[in-house]
Amino acid sequence: MKKYVYMFREGNETMRALLGGKGANLAAMVNLNLPVPQGFTVTTEACNEYYADGKIINDEIKRQIDVCLSELEKVTDKTLGGKENPLLVSVRSGAKFSMPGMMDTILNLGLNDETVEVMANKTNNIRFAYDSYRRFIQMYSDVACGVDKELFEEVLTELKEKNGYESDLDITAADFKDHVIPEYKAIFKARLGRDFPQDPKQQLMGAILAVFSSWMNERAVVYRNLNNIPHDLGTAVNVQEMVFGNMGDSSGTGVLFTRNAATGENHIYGEYLINAQGEDVVAGIRTPLKIDRLAEDMPHIYDQLIQIVKGLELHYRDMQDCEFTVEEGKLYILQTRNGKRTGHAALKIAVDLVHEGLINKPTALTRVEPDQISQLLHPNFTKAALDQGEVMLSGLPASPGAASGKVYLTADKAVECAEKGEKVILVRHETSPEDIKGMDACLGILTSTGGMTSHAAVVARGMGRACVVGAKGLSINYKEKTFTIAGTTYPEGTEISIDGTTGNVYAGALAVEEQELTGDFAELMSWADEIKTLGVRANADTPKDADTAIKFGAEGIGLCRTEHMFFEGDRIEYVRQMILSDTLEERELALEELYKFQIEDFKGIYRAMVGLPVTVRLLDPPLHEFLPHTDEEYQVVAAKLGKTLAEVKVKGDSLHEANPMLGHRGCRLAVTYPEIYNMQVRAIINAAIDVQNELGCNIVPEIMIPLVGQESEIVYVKGNITKAIELELAKRSTKLEYKIGTMIEIPRAALTADSIAKHAEFFSFGTNDLTQMTYGFSRDDIGSFLPDYKEKKLVQVDPFVSLDQSGVGQLVQIASTKGREVKPNLKLGICGEHGGDPESIKFCHNVGLNYVSCSPYRVLVARLAAAQAAAEQILVAHSTEDILVKDK
């Protein structure tokens, strides 16, 4: 028979999945002989059975609960509902990962009309007993039965008002017994149509049921969705003997952190209350005392407590968050866990613990969440500014950072005002590729529509701009040049502030503070670079991007998207001439003009990278992305080409496609129009030669062919561009090393990677497209069904955010294996959005890729994630005490 219930002493700290984090820690503390109240844990498996059985706790589980309850009664020499020595227990939820939103705690369970009297007699403290009882009724009704706790609070408030009491402490035992408790019971009955349960075993089963059922309450589900925690883990339930901090002035209760959770400083940090139960500390009804006061109030207890919690920190080798209670001069540790902390604190604690010799560097690297690095990177509003700020509006936090400036409603106006030195916030319904320059010129972007993978969101993250999208209360009148929020209309030029980390939009300009990348941060990153084996490159399309990438420690450019340069300035007109040409000759004229721009673009990038590798992807998107939108724009092209408006419009229309994502793009364009890639490689090669001569460093351009799906494509395109390159080198009588490789972004390319590898010097996994085609999901259309999938729990993570390891990852694995079978030294990288996602980066490390490439602003995150992947391998390989259970 499966074991569903464990006494604390039967568990240990490795059993987190089964006993939950809290249960495993309680077991660990018991095993460390700490003064922990006794109890038992109902397992997460029992929770899953409960759901499998249609929300019923089956007989076997009930039987095991009874067995453990009997043992607890024996150990404590108390009896649940006993008339002589009644056992009171707390009931707490405890999942594998700590999780707000679930039922937290019920205290004093076991009290009823009889046992409350016994307790009163035993403790010689009638007030304490009845106060406990009323607390229990209130808590049980609220968390286990869903009765609004405000109803109970009102009773107390009225009572205090009526009697002129200043605080709860003024309430007398008689008040509780004769007035409060009868009223509480009446509320319970009125709301639920039954009497408050008097049978303690019934109370216990009700509480356990409530914990199980809280696993699926809405807030818990939302939290798990947001934090990528699977829904099938289940929660455990901890049933523990009560101890009482409210048994007079020699009793008390508190919580403490062994280090400062906000700053990471190494000093005990916590609060406590004399003569109180735990909930009083967090509920904010009474103002708790700083933990230091305990040294004065109860010096002996304080010393014991400090010794224990420092011992726990030493044991867990991490900052601890402990709950304790003093019952009539005796200290109990109720709970300990690795403490939650800010990014700053995580960083400082990890570095300090290394310096203190408690953990090694690989362990330290695993102690900082890569995503917390974002907090350390982006400018933030000062705390003072936030405290005073007025939230006008909220949207989705699409790209972190804080920005204040004047609102402009078009990209052109944004550029114009930014050039005049103004701080600009670009505000649009949504953005499109033509807004790029405006997005670059501004400090922050705010849109009224779109989601986390909308154009604005993706580009802003790439550029490191603060961005809030989908701010529903915002409407824009482009004609009148105004925007309206909550009925108030503002003109262009109005100052606002946006917080891309929270999604909040504030009125006026809030003070911003920049972050420094020095000290502990620099030290941790130096350890990261020592340990990581996966290279980190950046996706950078402009010299400016390249500078940013270098600043954050990128080791090269993994993806330079040439088409992003096509929208800038006048060149879009030549692009349009090129695509609306009817003949090779017309097309070559336009391409010659574009060549002049492209060679300068590449020179700028090479100069910024000073010899670091640069991978340039040849033209990828379908041509119609560059088409004119208005008749005026068409007319400009028509004039240049010497054609009629009608002629160029017909040509333009003919380029529209039913499914452009699966259409005439990537290397397919180069099969039809080889002259486009030939122009691009000429620019790449000549720019490299020029900058090589200029800087005296060695430049090895890496030329990447997009959208290859068949061996014949790479053979054909590589043949053409190689000819064009060799011709160019011959013309200049010079030699230059260069590499030609391909994106692997078509499932077929991954499946036939062995034949493609014969012709490629490197593969770069384009996991955005690979995800689209492997799932058959269009990124542009996924918004119409992904919310339903999330709501109905069909997906846990958006596969465009974190790489789908079992499907898309399988193709990455297949292609890596097949490619290296043919060419053992084949260089493998990834350049989709996943290149900046920590989980995906770990996958890339494990598959054996050579590098990831991500947006410049994700480079630090990627460096840390890459180091963590390496660290985890080292820690697993050296299965010593250094390997500690990592708390989420």
Residues belonging to the active site: 455, 831
Name beta bridge partners: 337: 321
Minimum gap (Å) between residue 310 Cβ and a copy of itself? 46
Our finding on whether 662 is near a copy of itself (CB under 8 A) is yes
Q: Which helix (H) or strand (E) holds 743?
A: strand 739-744
**Closest by alpha carbon to 396, among 463, 450, 476, 462?**
450
Q: How many residues bind a copy of itself (CB under 8 A)?
A: 48
Our finding on whether 794 is near a copy of itself (CB under 8 A) is yes
The percent of the chain in helix, strand and coil, each rounded to the nearest 5, is: 50, 15, 35
625 CB burial (10 A radius; 0-12, 13-18, 19+): middle
Length of the chain measured in residues: 888
Name beta bridge partners: 381: 512
Q: Phi/psi class of residue 696: alpha, beta or left (left: φ > 0; alpha: ψ in -120 to 50)?
A: left
Integer CA distances (angstroms), 102 to 215, 341, 354, 549, 793, in order: 6, 20, 35, 42, 18
Tokens of 454: 């909308």
- Measured between alpha carbons, how far is 76 from 127 in angstroms, rounded to an integer? 24
Scanning 70-78, 668-676, 683-691, 822-830 for contacts with a copy of itself by CB under 8 A, the matching segment is 668-676
Minimum gap (Å) between residue 755 Cβ and a copy of itself? 8
**Closest by alpha carbon to 228, among 799, 780, 830?**
799
Our finding on whether 686 is near a copy of itself (CB under 8 A) is no
Our finding on whether 54 is near a copy of itself (CB under 8 A) is no
Our finding on whether 231 is near a copy of itself (CB under 8 A) is no
Closer residue to a copy of itself (CB): 752 or 767:
752
Our finding on whether 710 is near a copy of itself (CB under 8 A) is yes
Closer residue to a copy of itself (CB): 82 or 783:
783
Our finding on whether 515 is near a copy of itself (CB under 8 A) is no
Q: Which residues of 792-822 are buried (b: 16+ CB within 10 A; e: fewer)?
A: eeeebebbbbbbbbeebbebbbbbbebbbee
Minimum gap (Å) between residue 800 Cβ and a copy of itself? 12
Closer residue to a copy of itself (CB): 293 or 664:
664
- Measured between alpha carbons, how far is 505 from 495 in angstroms, rounded to an integer? 11
Q: How many CB atoms lie within 10 A of CB 693?
A: 10
**Closest by alpha carbon to 401, among 519, 507, 512, 521?**
512
Scanning 85-93, 112-120, 166-174, 805-813 for contacts with a copy of itself by CB under 8 A, the matching segment is 805-813
Closer residue to a copy of itself (CB): 165 or 777:
777
How is 8-47 classified by DSSP, letter by letter?
Answer: GGG--TT-HHHHHHHHHHHHHHHHTT-----EEEE-HHHH
Residue from 117, 529, 633, 657 in contact with a copy of itself (CB under 8 A) = 657
Minimum gap (Å) between residue 847 Cβ and a copy of itself? 15
Closer residue to a copy of itself (CB): 293 or 668:
668
Q: Where are the alpha helices (DSSP H) in 194-342?
A: 200-214, 218-227, 278-283, 292-297, 299-316
Minimum gap (Å) between residue 580 Cβ and a copy of itself? 15
Closer residue to a copy of itself (CB): 613 or 799:
799
Our finding on whether 716 is near a copy of itself (CB under 8 A) is yes
Q: Which residues of 11-49 are buried (b: 16+ CB within 10 A; e: fewer)?
A: bebebbbbbbbbbbbbbbbbeeebebbbbbbbbbbbbbb
Our finding on whether 672 is near a copy of itself (CB under 8 A) is yes
Our finding on whether 51 is near a copy of itself (CB under 8 A) is no
Strand (E) positions, 96-142? Answer: 105-109
Our finding on whether 202 is near a copy of itself (CB under 8 A) is no
Our finding on whether 788 is near a copy of itself (CB under 8 A) is yes
C-alpha radius of gyration, the chain, whole number: 33
Dihedral sign from CA coordinates of 714, 720, 723, 727: negative
- Measured between alpha carbons, how far is 854 from 803 in angstroms, rounded to an integer? 13
Scanning 25-33, 403-411, 770-778, 858-866 for contacts with a copy of itself by CB under 8 A, the matching segment is 770-778
Integer CA distances (angstroms), 591 to 202, 588, 720, in order: 82, 5, 16
Tokens of 207: 């509480």
Residue from 478, 780, 817, 878 in contact with a copy of itself (CB under 8 A) = 780
Minimum gap (Å) between residue 18 Cβ and a copy of itself? 24
3-state secondary structure of 244: coil
Residue from 207, 538, 565, 773 in contact with a copy of itself (CB under 8 A) = 773
Residue from 660, 822, 839, 882 in contact with a copy of itself (CB under 8 A) = 660
Residue from 508, 761, 807, 885 in contact with a copy of itself (CB under 8 A) = 807
Minimum gap (Å) between residue 726 Cβ and a copy of itself? 16
Minimum gap (Å) between residue 86 Cβ and a copy of itself? 46
**Closest by alpha carbon to 310, among 340, 336, 332, 282?**
336
Scanning 104-112, 320-328, 407-415, 799-807 for contacts with a copy of itself by CB under 8 A, the matching segment is 799-807
Scanning 252-260, 346-354, 658-666, 687-695 for contacts with a copy of itself by CB under 8 A, the matching segment is 658-666
Minimum gap (Å) between residue 815 Cβ and a copy of itself? 12
DSSP label of 510: P
Our finding on whether 385 is near a copy of itself (CB under 8 A) is no
Scanning 86-94, 428-436, 608-616, 783-791 for contacts with a copy of itself by CB under 8 A, the matching segment is 783-791
CB-based contacts of 646, cutoff 8 Å, min separation 6: none
Minimum gap (Å) between residue 840 Cβ and a copy of itself? 16
> Which residues ranging from 723 to 752 are in contact with a copy of itself (CB under 8 A)?
745-748, 751-752
DSSP label of 179: I
Our finding on whether 798 is near a copy of itself (CB under 8 A) is no
Our finding on whether 801 is near a copy of itself (CB under 8 A) is no
**Closest by alpha carbon to 284, among 153, 378, 151?**
153
Closer residue to a copy of itself (CB): 480 or 791:
791
Q: How many CB atoms lie within 10 A of CB 749?
A: 29
Minimum gap (Å) between residue 807 Cβ and a copy of itself? 4
Our finding on whether 583 is near a copy of itself (CB under 8 A) is no
CB-based contacts of 151, cutoff 8 Å, min separation 6: 187, 191
Closer residue to a copy of itself (CB): 293 or 793:
793
Phi, psi (deg, nearest 5) at residue 62: -60, -40
Closer residue to a copy of itself (CB): 167 or 583:
583
Our finding on whether 170 is near a copy of itself (CB under 8 A) is no
Phi, psi (deg, nearest 5) at residue 42: -90, 130
Our finding on whether 804 is near a copy of itself (CB under 8 A) is yes
Minimum gap (Å) between residue 659 Cβ and a copy of itself? 4
Q: How many CA atoms lie within 13 A of 110 on its CB side?
A: 25
Q: How many CB atoms lie within 10 A of CB 776?
A: 6
Our finding on whether 221 is near a copy of itself (CB under 8 A) is no
CA angle at 94 for the pair 89 and 100, rounded to the nearest 5°: 115
Residue from 775, 822, 882, 883 in contact with a copy of itself (CB under 8 A) = 775
Scanning 489-497, 528-536, 589-597, 656-664 for contacts with a copy of itself by CB under 8 A, the matching segment is 656-664
Closer residue to a copy of itself (CB): 148 or 788:
788
Minimum gap (Å) between residue 664 Cβ and a copy of itself? 4
Phi, psi (deg, nearest 5) at residue 530: -65, -40
Our finding on whether 475 is near a copy of itself (CB under 8 A) is no
Residue from 317, 668, 739, 820 in contact with a copy of itself (CB under 8 A) = 668
Catalog residues that contact a copy of itself under the rule CB under 8 A. 657-664, 668, 671-672, 707, 709-710, 712-713, 716, 745-748, 751-752, 755, 769, 772-778, 780-781, 784-785, 788-789, 792-795, 804, 806-808, 810-811
